[in-house]
Amino acid sequence: MSLDPYIDMRGKYVMRGIALYHPITVERGENAVLYDVNGRRYVDFTSGVGVTTLGHANPELVRAAEEQLRRLWHICFMVANYRPYVELAERLAKIAPGPSEKQVLLQNSGSEATENAIKIARQVTGKTVVVSYENSFHGRGTYGFALAATGKYKPYKVGLEPMMPGIEFIPYPYCYRCPFKHEYPQCSLACLDYVRKWFTYTRVPPERIAAFIMEMIQGEGGFVVAPVDYVRELKKFLDEHGILLIDDEVQSGWARTGRMWAVEHYGVEPDVMITAKAIANGLPLSAIVSKKEIVDKTYPGSFGGTYGGNPVSCAVALKVIEIMLRDKLPERAMSLGQVVRKRLNEMFERHELVGDVRGLGVMQAIELVKDRKTKEPATDEASKVLSKAREKGLLLLRAGIHLNVVRLLPPLTIEEELLNEGLDILEESLKEVEVK
Ligand SMILES: Cc1ncc(COP(=O)(O)O)c(C=O)c1O
């Protein structure tokens, strides 16, 4: 009999298609700390993949959920109107990036948000092709555009072809591993030249392209930050050709980068923005926020779903926004990010295994390599760092096309002492893995 019978139960009754990072069964959480069924304590640097940004069991959010549960927990937004949906739509329209008037559609997951953003782009522009990025992630919860637009084959697409047609891929400006082997900024954005000149002429001309879908900071791709000039130049090019920019903020949104939305670091206004994850701190909810002039052209009745915009999720999301603005969470993410970045830079100085340190705000990561010159990915080592850290009481996540990036996603409400405790464990784990 194992110490954790629920892991055995999972093996027996749950389909193996869903992976497990950490073979522990968590019982409860308190802000940035989790406890497993055996009472072991863990510092949580995962936030359930960037979701519980205001901490586990946040008392204000619990209260907001309880009050709404007692009042109304479902009616379906297509059956009758209800306040939390429209109030949240109003708040989201107001805090969305850029000056244009916005409108909102609510769904349940990031994958559904991707599907709907691409539906909007196709329906409104009358064009079919969507351009996505290599190394991107836009969801595997659905079998349509979200999966098709995801720029990583294994494990997401294995045995699932054919994908939804109409998606084209281009290289992401991943400067640490430049696909054109250039150095930024001396490269003069060669990757964008490729998009402008060659991609559009040899693959699909701009007049056939409905939208580009882009993460300003690739999440699953390993916290790869696009250069500011790349995004600005790209947006100009898209505007010249009437191509929409869909900004995927599912992982990077909600204050984590030091701004409410990652795209705010770039000074461009996306045409459509999608968000999910931290929006309701873990209750299922996602949002598509679009310039009104665009969605004014959508066809009534062609969007919707039974559950999209659940009243309890909406009530919690309203409270999330209130807390984030009241407690200045973007500023806090920035100051926590400075603590994290300093420590990660020190780890870079002390440990050859760390090849790159990158991120924005507190959305920070280290990319592990076997050799700093060849940049050979240290995939096994990253896996060992995660195991060692867990043994010492810290939960981390990996990311990146080679799964050699250790990404940090602590809640923004984490106490500084706990943040440092987690960072100490990360460094000890790196040290131990390096010695072997
Ligand atoms: C950038 C991005 N887009 C979309 C998704 C899909 O979201 P969901 O898992 O809620 O379907 C994710 C999930 O990790 C994501 O990181």
Q: What is the pLDDT of residue 428?
A: 98
Indicate whether 1 belongs to any domain. Answer: no
Looking at residue 1, its pLDDT comes to 57
Q: What angle do CA 106, 111, 112 make, to 5 degrees?
A: 35
For residue 109 and ligand 1, the question of a CB distance below 6 A is answered with yes
What single DSSP character describes residue 135? Answer: T
CA pair distance 268, 279, nearest whole angstrom: 22
Interval 38-58 mean pLDDT: 98
What pLDDT, on the 0 to 100 scale, is given for residue 3? 87
Are 287 and 113 spatial neighbours (Cβ–Cβ below 8 Å)? yes
Cis omega before residue 185 (within 30°)? yes
Does some domain include residue 20?
no
Instruction: Look at residue 435 in the predicted model and tell me its pLDDT.
Output: 82
**Residue 2: band (very low, low, confident or very high) from pLDDT cuts 50, 70, 90:** confident
Residue 17 lies in a domain: no
- Look up residue 304 and give its amino acid: G
Q: How far is the CA of 71 from the centre of ligand 1 (A)?
A: 30
220 lines ligand 1 (CB under 6 A): yes
Counting ligand 1 atoms within 8 A of each CB, the residue from 215, 250, 273 with the most, and so the one to mutate, is 250
Distance from C-alpha of 297 to C-alpha of 308, rounded to nearest angstrom: 21
Query: Are 37 and 44 contacting, i.e. CB atoms less than 8 angstroms apart?
Result: no
Determine if the pTM surpasses 0.75.
Answer: yes
Structure tokens at 101: 């008037």
The encoded tokens of residue 349 equal 């100085």
Q: Check pLDDT > 80 for residue 153.
A: yes
What average pLDDT does range 171-181 have in this prediction? 96
Do 412 and 362 contact (CB within 8 A), yes or no? yes
For 265, phi and psi rounded to 5 degrees? Answer: -75, -15
Whether residue 202 has pLDDT greater than 90: no
Cα(110) to centroid of ligand 1, in Å?
Answer: 5
Q: Is residue 383 part of a domain?
A: no
Residue 419 lies in a domain: no
Decide if 384 is inside a domain.
no
What integer pLDDT is reported at residue 198 of this predicted model? Answer: 80
Tell me the mean pLDDT in the region 174-191. Answer: 96
Residue 284: domain span: 62-326
pLDDT at 436 (0 to 100): 67
Contact predicate 394/371, CB 8 Å: no
Residue 3: burial class (beta carbons within 10 Å; 0-12, 13-18, 19+): exposed
Per-residue pLDDT, 161: 97
Rounded Cα distance, 121 and 220, in Å? 24
Sheet holding 129-133, edge to edge: 102-107, 286-291, 272-275, 244-248, 209-214, 129-133, 167-170
Averaged confidence pLDDT in the chain: 97
Confirm or reject: Cβ of 248 under 6 Å from ligand 1.
Answer: yes
Query: What is the per-residue pLDDT across 309-349, written as a single tens digit (0 to 9) for each?
Result: 999 999 999 999 999 999 999 999 999 999 999 999 999 99
User: What distance in angstroms lies between residue 100's CA and the mean position of ligand 1's atoms?
Assistant: 25
Into how many domains does the chain fold?
1
In a domain, 400, yes or no: no
Q: How far apart are CA 177 and CA 224, in angstroms?
A: 10
Asked whether residue 200 carries a pLDDT value surpassing 80, the answer given is: no
- Looking at ligand 1, which residue's alpha carbon is closest to its atom 16? 251
Residue 246 has phi, psi (to 5 degrees) of -95, 120
Q: What are the tens digits of pLDDT across the range 158-167?
A: 999 999 999 9
Residue of 51, 28, 40 whose CA lies nearest to 4: 40
Contact 303, 293 (CB under 8 A): no
The stretch 190-194 carries a mean pLDDT of: 93
With a cut of 60, say whether residue 426 has pLDDT above it.
yes
* Residue pLDDT, tens place only, 350-390: 999 999 999 999 999 999 999 999 999 999 999 999 999 99
Q: Answer whether residue 124 is part of any domain.
A: yes
- Two tokens, residue 417: 């002492």
Question: The domain that contains 282 carries what CATH number?
Answer: 3.40.640.10
% residues pLDDT > 70 (the chain): 100
Is residue 162 reached through a cis peptide bond, with omega within 30 degrees of 0 on the bond before it? Answer: yes
Which atom of ligand 1 lies nearest, measured to the CA of 114?
4
- Tell me: cis bond preceding 165? Omega within 30 of 0 counts: no
